[in-house]
Amino acid sequence: MTSPQYNCATLVFPAVNQAALEFLRAARHRGESVVCAASVANDEIGAEWGGLHRLPAIYDDDFALRFLSLVGAQSIGRLFCPVASVHDFMRRFITQHRLDIELIGQSPIRQQVEQHRQLMARARRLLPLVELCADGAPPLSLLEVAGVQRQASLIYGESNDDKLAAMMGVFAGTPAGDVVEIGSLMGRSAFVLLYLAWRYRIGPVLTIDPWRSDAAIQRESPDEFQALVDEWDFEVLSEGFMVNMIPFRADDHAHIRLASENAFKIYVDGEAILSPMGGRVAYSGKIAAIHIDGNHDYDCVKKDCELWLGRMLPGSWLILDDYIWSHGDGPYRAGNELLHDQPDRIGCAFVCGKALFVKLRY
């Protein structure tokens, strides 16, 4: 059997699910010629791709004839099957008919098995770090670490595995109180905070992000980095964040869509704050853990620390994101000032996943 010619078209069959749609969109960006076929109607794919060829079900008597006719008419050289049963059937069909067609990728079942094995390997690698950061407190289990990592990976964000593992660890010994995040983007780290606050019965979570371009521009960063702000639709950010948070105990979480300084005034007033689910969340005004990941300009990071750290409990944790950062040194300078100017207040400090973790004595 000769190798398929790569100027031939790729057939997506059956083009019926999200995996098919994602493949089609990626193929479009690659400039590939793609043909869609299915045995059932799919209006979304048909409309987006300009039509959908209809084929009989794979077990119908006339499937082979109709399939081979489509292959010849459309010059098919590759086949993508996003449904496990069809993938297995077509693998055998191609061999039996000695077709010069490349079956792309693994079976969806094998793909899921492999993805799970890779996830568990990541979790096993991270578990010792989680245990180390827990410092003797009961850590999360291997399955919990894997579960948090998997869900976090589904949410757009820049918090990496090591940082999230360190967060999982330090929360094991965090006192009861409020959990605060300044700068949330679409919610990757906020999800982790929500889970950990629930898992260790710490307290409600408050997230703060104005989702405005003027607040997001890092003016001390290179011009090219600042220009990335224009890529965002901030209403999509706001809506996407809420979509990502609502499945995860949104009744224990409220968000303030204001700059950090204005949000602080609301927080210290002590009034309950509206949650994404429409209820109201009461906060104690005493912070057990805070993740500072807002504007990274030095003055902004310093102001966040000056405002919020005065509300922190003994034994609480500050997580200062991007202490090590390629686009500026605002968090680094502000973090170093804290370590230098308030040494008696520092219980311990370490850097993990580019973030500075500081445990406060008072």
* Within a domain: 2: no
The least confident of 50-54, 80-84, 138-142, 296-300 is: 50-54
- Whether residues 46 and 181 share a domain: the answer is no
Residue after which a domain boundary falls, among 42, 70, 105: 105
Give the pLDDT mean for 244-264.
91
Q: Round to whole Å and give the CA distance between 36 and 19.
A: 13
- Whether residues 213 and 162 share a domain: the answer is yes
Mean pLDDT of the chain: 94
- Whether residues 150 and 201 share a domain: the answer is yes
**Residue 281: CA count within 13 A, CB half-sphere:** 26
- The domain that contains 227 carries what CATH number? 3.40.50.150
* Within a domain: 349: yes
**Residue 238: CA count within 13 A, CB half-sphere:** 14
pLDDT tens digits, 178-227: 999 999 999 999 999 999 999 999 999 999 999 999 999 999 999 999 99
Residue after which a domain boundary falls, among 105, 126, 160: 105
pLDDT of residue 4: 43
Q: Round to whole Å and give the CA distance between 75 and 94.
A: 15
Question: pTM (2 decimals)?
Answer: 0.91
Residue after which a domain boundary falls, among 56, 90, 105: 105
- Whether residues 341 and 193 share a domain: the answer is yes
* Within a domain: 29: yes
Selection from 111, 100, 105 nearest residue 26 by Cα: 105
Give the pLDDT mean for 270-295.
93
Selection from 244, 173, 183, 171 nearest residue 209 by Cα: 183
Structural domains of the chain, count: 2
Residue 191, C-beta contacts closer than 8 angstroms, at least 6 positions apart: 151, 152, 155, 244, 245, 248
- The domain that contains 72 carries what CATH number? 3.40.50.20
The first and second tokens of residue 348, run together, are 């311990």
pLDDT reading at 1 higher than 70: no
- Length of the chain equals 362
Give the pLDDT mean for 104-123.
96
- Whether residues 182 and 314 share a domain: the answer is yes
pLDDT of residue 6: 54
* Within a domain: 3: no
- Whether residues 116 and 240 share a domain: the answer is yes
Radius of gyration of the chain (CA): 26
> For residue 174, what are the domain limits?
112-360
Q: Is 235 exposed, middle or buried (0-12, 13-18, 19+ CB in 10 A)?
A: exposed
